[in-house]
């Protein structure tokens, strides 16, 4: 990242003149003001990459300016200038968020050198974030997503297409299906991947402080606001703000969110000035927002603004072929986290897991695997570890049948239910013949080639 624009802050006109001429000659775009108050006003209306400020000034001095910039524009690079006698103040400024300091009197090349070092630091930070994102993608599905099944492969196809755009995304699905992972995948594969990803659960925000959390506030905006606060929109500037459970947002805040999306600017609580923000919004909900809009519980205009591209994550019961790979991921994760020996999950245990209804979806499966890994004593995790406990997982052979009338609409797909049954039968056949595929094909009345294709499709 190049630091192209620099704001010089010094109460001595001669210093301001020398620095602006020198910085402009070095390829920067420099502008100078004479006080901390002028600097804050200037930064509210113009965008600067870096601030070069004297430490001792009347009114708002350099130390207070550093604090204010760190709160309101935390991504900005601040460098302080100090005489030798102000050395301790310069160190205090660095503790408050300044990047570096130069001592007066200074040579012109010293200031340029410090700015170039700051540029290199920002470049390395962004390169590090980019490489992390690429490494995560090389290791498999983006952001740890498992996509062995056709429905999840389609989810990832849509994610890859939409990630390169700036479109607002609405992710829908039951609780525990992995909506935040999909949101992170959108961010990690987008041009914004080196900028912040800021997740927030709208249902967990305290009602009285919800607006302040999202938009920020100025000092004195309300009782208890002793300092200014940067809101989540500003914290996500340049990146992605993930609004989980967007259906829980009160109607009055929905109006303000709609305005932010339309104007790309926010107004902090207690402030009358607009602050530009460059944020991509990804929202998620387990509620039917279209129905909520019809009932007057969610603004229809906001719904259409959020629902530019919708990504529906299917529940786990609709994608049982993802379960073996998910189990492997969770076994690796919790063996390392709990410091226990890694063990495989037996074929009969996988049959139990793939036949269970999973009302809690992937989150429930994760907890079941973690529990089995802690309690299991044998070399393999057997089905008995998943058939007991506070949330019993029924073995397919003994699973109670639910009346068709009680099944949710998405479970009535003949194709989906046939796939689940086929996968169970194939696993049972392979278990009976100790994995001999030719004999299993005979039992299943399939050709060896057809069995091979189905084994691959179902991730067996």
Q: What is the pLDDT of residues 137-189, one digit of tens each?
A: 444 455 568 888 999 999 999 999 999 999 999 999 999 999 999 999 999 99
State the Cα–Cα distance between residues 434 and 388, nearest whole angstrom.
Answer: 26
* Residue 165 confidence (pLDDT): 93
pLDDT for residue 47: 85
**Positions of the chain with pLDDT lower than 50, given as ranges:** 133-140, 388-408, 410-411
Write down the pLDDT at residue 200. 92
CA 445 – CA 428 distance, rounded (Å): 14
Give 41's DSSP letter.
Answer: H
- Domains of the chain as residue ranges with CATH: 5-126 (3.40.50.2300), 145-314 (3.40.50.300)
Question: In angstroms, rounded to a whole number, what is the distance separating the alpha carbons of residues 419 and 411?
Answer: 12
Model pLDDT, residue 311: 96
Q: Which helix (H) or strand (E) holds 13?
A: helix 13-25
Residues in contact with 21: Cβ distance below 8 Å, sequence separation at least 6, in sequence order: none
Contact status, residue 188 vs residue 142, Cβ threshold 8 Å: yes
212 within 8 A of 224, measured Cβ to Cβ: no
Cα distance between residue 241 and residue 202, in whole Å: 12
- In angstroms, the CA 350 to CA 352 distance is 5
Reported in sequence order, the residue ranges of 267-308 that DSSP labels E, i.e. its strands, are 275-276, 280-285
Res 403: pLDDT = 44
pLDDT at 129: 53
Model's pTM, two decimal places? 0.58
Determine the pLDDT at residue 139. Answer: 44
Collapsing DSSP states into helix, strand and coil, what is residue 175? coil
What pLDDT was estimated at residue 366?
A: 93
Q: Please, are residues 365 and 316 in contact by the beta-carbon 8 Å criterion?
A: yes
Among 212, 206, 219, 187, CA closest to 284:
187
What pLDDT, on the 0 to 100 scale, is given for residue 450?
A: 73
| Diameter over CA atoms, the chain | 93
d(CA 189, CA 162): 9
């Amino acid at each position: 990242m190049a630091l192209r624009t620099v704001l010089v802050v010094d109460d001595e006109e001669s210093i301001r003149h020398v620095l602006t001429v020198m910085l402009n000659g070095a390829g920067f775009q420099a502008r100078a003001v004479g006080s901390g108050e002028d600097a804050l006003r200037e930064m509210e209306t113009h965008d600067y990459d870096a601030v070069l400020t004297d430490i001792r000034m009347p009114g708002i001095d350099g130390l207070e300016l550093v604090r204010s910039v760190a709160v309101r524009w935390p991504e900005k690079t601040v460098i302080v200038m100090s005489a030798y006698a102000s050395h301790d103040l310069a160190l205090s400024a660095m503790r408050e968020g300044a990047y570096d300091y130069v001592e007066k009197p200074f040579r012109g090349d010293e200031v340029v050198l410090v700015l170039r070092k700051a540029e290199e630091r920002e470049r390395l930070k962004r390169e590090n974030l980019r490489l992390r994102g690429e490494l995560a993608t090389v290791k498999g599905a983006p952001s740890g997503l498992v996509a062995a099944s056709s429905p999840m492969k389609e989810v990832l196809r849509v994610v890859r297409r939409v990630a390169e755009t700036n479109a607002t995304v609405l992710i829908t699905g039951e609780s525990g299906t992995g909506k935040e992972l999909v949101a992170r995948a959108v961010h990690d594969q987008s041009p914004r991947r080196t900028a912040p990803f800021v997740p927030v659960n709208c249902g967990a925000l305290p009602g009285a402080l919800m607006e302040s959390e999202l938009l920020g506030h100025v000092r004195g905006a309300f009782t208890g606001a002793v300092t200014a606060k940067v809101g989540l929109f500003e914290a996500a500037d340049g990146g992605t703000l993930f609004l989980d459970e967007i259906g829980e947002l009160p109607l009055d805040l929905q109006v303000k969110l709609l305005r932010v999306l339309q104007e790309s600017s926010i107004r902090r609580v207690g402030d009358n000035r607009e602050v530009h923000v460059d944020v991509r919004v990804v929202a998620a909900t387990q509620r039917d927002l279209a129905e909520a809009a019809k009932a007057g519980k969610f603004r229809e205009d906001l719904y259409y603004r959020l629902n530019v591209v919708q990504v529906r994550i299917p529940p786990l019961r609709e994608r049982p072929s993802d379960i073996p790979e998910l189990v492997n991921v969770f076994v690796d994760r919790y063996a390392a986290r709990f410091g226990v020996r890694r063990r495989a999950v037996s074929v009969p245990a996988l049959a139990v897991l793939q036949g269970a209804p999973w009302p809690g979806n992937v989150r429930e499966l994760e907890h079941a695997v973690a529990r089995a890994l802690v309690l299991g004593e044998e070399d393999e995790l057997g089905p008995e570890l998943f058939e007991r406990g506070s949330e019993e997982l029924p073995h397919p052979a003994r699973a109670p049948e639910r009346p068709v009338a009680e099944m949710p609409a998405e479970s009535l797909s003949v194709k989906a239910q046939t796939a689940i049954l086929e996968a169970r039968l194939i696993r049972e056949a392979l278990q009976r013949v100790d994995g001999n595929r030719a004999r299993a094909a005979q039992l299943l009345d399939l050709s060896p080639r057809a069995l091979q294709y189905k084994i691959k499709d179902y991730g067996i």
